[in-house]
Amino acid sequence: MRFLLIPLAAAALAACGADTATSAATVAAAKAKEVEQAQALKAQVQQQLDAANAQAAARLKAAESQ
């Protein structure tokens, strides 16, 4: 009986390990996509800031020339 219990316990633990590995891979893929989206958002915000700075510089130049 004892000899039968050890392989069954080992098989159960191995199945948990495979499930954990699959979950970890899924979480890693989701985090990678999240990082990609954050980088795209950062680039978009930087473009908006650059446009606002250019507009402010143009207004300043226009005000100085008057």
What is the distance between the alpha carbons of residues 10 and 31, in angstroms, rounded to a whole number?
31
What is the distance between the alpha carbons of residues 37 and 2, in angstroms, rounded to a whole number?
53
What is the distance between the alpha carbons of residues 50 and 58, in angstroms, rounded to a whole number?
12
In the chain, where does DSSP find H-type helix?
2-65
By C-alpha distance, which of 56, 55, 34, 53 is closest to 45?
53
Cut 0.75: pTM above it:
no
pLDDT tens string 14-64:
666 666 677 888 889 999 999 999 999 999 999 999 999 999 999 999 999
Whether 2 shows a pLDDT value over 60: the answer reads: no
Q: What does the pLDDT read at residue 64?
A: 92
By C-alpha distance, which of 64, 40, 34, 60 is closest to 48?
40
